Chain A
Amino acid sequence: AQSVAQPEDQVNVAEGNPLTVKCTYSVSGNPYLFWYVQYPNRGLQFLLKYITGDNLVKGSYGFEAEFNKSQTSFHLKKPSALVSDSALYFCVPHSGNTPLVFGKGTRLSVIA
């Protein structure tokens, strides 16, 4: 079974500060993990994914995520937040050809 948990419904951060959106996973075998972002009234945009290899994954818009097997985490990070990063973020497991299973996500608010 594949599942993730985003423990925070809402994250607030000041513009220019580093941001972290947390994700912990529970998957069997080798996990594939994706991060998607949804800006207000928009569709989903792919940010990055972990399949195998380097634990530090770099993605779009300056985001990165570190796969930590011992802590079963895949937290999304950015060194310096922008107001335009304010959006809904989804951490999503993927396995084989099964459909993506979404939770409610984490709403990030970057305050100027």
Chain B
Amino acid sequence: DAGVTQSPTHLIKTRGQQVTLRCSPKSGHDTVSWYQQALGQGPQFIFQYYEEEERQRGNFPDRFSGHQFPNYSSELNVNALLLGDSALYLCASSFLSSGNTIYFGEGSWLTVV
């Protein structure tokens, strides 16, 4: 059973560019969340998708957007990249129910230069 998979694992972008990160949830999971982890910090919640809709959103600007597909996979898009967007982006999946275990992928390392 594959866990949460993310791609790409590493990428370098230039300021002002746009990036798309992808996530496939653990088999059977219907809910995907995205987190940003800056160096030396804990992960910060970006948003959560369920039934192809954004259900909750953290304190991130509109430059951060996402999508969930019918097969529950998800994308995170970041426009107009800033140097401060350099971070590890983590995807997490679960069933939408209280107390269910939330599993994380290995993340996508984004460097903005």
Contact = CB atoms under 8 A, between A and B. Distances in A.
Interface stretch (B13-21, B61-69, B75-83, B98-106): B98-106
Interface size class of A (residues with CB under 8 A): 20 to 34
B42 interface: yes
B27 interface: no
B24 interface: no
Interface string B95-113: 0111101111111000000
User: For the complex, would chain A's binding face be called helix, strand, loop or mixed by DSSP majority?
Assistant: loop
Interface in A93-112: 94-105
A105 B107 CA distance: 18
Nearest to B109: A41
Interface residues of B, number: 28
Nearest to B48: A99
A94 B102 contact: yes
Nearest to B91: A43
Contact of B42 (A43, A46, A97, A102): A102
Interface of B: 4, 6, 33, 35, 40-45, 48, 55-56, 58, 88, 90, 92, 96-99, 101-107
8 contacts: A43-B6, A44-B90, A45-B104, A97-B55, A97-B56, A97-B96, A99-B58, A100-B35
